[in-house]
């Protein structure tokens, strides 16, 4: 019985140790000195998805990987790269999923068409619902 409790505690401790003990990267939580570059970096960070959290941008996430990605974005922009170049590099490395703005191509047409179709279907249903009441 003692061993079961010990095993259970060890299994629960795994996720708590998921982040490393390393200090965060230099620009993970530190802004760039140039306000224009920081503004461009911040705008790009809002458009990039955290690969760990999946539902947050790297600007909003506290995950260690998001901090590393923030630092990478700031370093590349400070080095003179344009935000589009940084985004393209990250998409090439991690795939289209890393960007909240997927490209418009045949594979992503359903993503772009779905909101329009849902709004049209909702308008159609509402129109017929109110028409029956008259």
pLDDT in tens, 26-80: 777 778 888 999 999 999 999 999 988 878 999 988 888 889 999 999 999 999 9
Question: What's residue 77's pLDDT?
Answer: 94
CB-CB neighbours of 133 under 10 Å: 5
Are 34 and 84 within one domain?
yes
* pLDDT at site 130: 80
Domain count, the chain: 2
- Do 48 and 86 have their domain in common? yes
E strand or H helix at 14: helix 2-16
Of 105 and 11, the structure prediction assigns the larger pLDDT to 105
Question: Is 39 domain-assigned?
Answer: yes
- Phi, psi (5° rounding) for residue 48? -105, 135
Helix, strand or coil, per DSSP, at residue 49: strand
Query: Residue 51: inside a domain, yes or no?
Result: yes
Rounded to an integer, what distance in angstroms lies between the CA atom of residue 109 and that of residue 35? 37
What local confidence, expressed as pLDDT, does residue 122 receive?
Answer: 92
């Amino acid at each position: 019985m003692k061993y079961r409790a010990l095993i259970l505690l060890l299994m629960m401790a795994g996720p708590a140790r998921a982040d490393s003990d390393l200090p965060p990267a230099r620009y993970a939580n530190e802004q760039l000195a140039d306000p224009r570059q920081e503004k461009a970096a911040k705008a790009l960070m809002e458009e990039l998805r955290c690969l760990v959290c999946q539902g947050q941008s790297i600007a909003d996430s506290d995950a260690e990987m998001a901090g590393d990605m923030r630092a990478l974005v700031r370093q590349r922009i400070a080095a003179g790269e344009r935000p589009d170049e940084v985004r393209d590099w990250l998409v090439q490395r991690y795939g289209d999923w890393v960007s909240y703005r997927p490209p418009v191509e045949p594979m992503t047409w359903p993503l772009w068409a779905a909101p329009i179709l849902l709004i049209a279907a909702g308008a159609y249903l509402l129109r017929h619902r109110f028409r029956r009441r008259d």
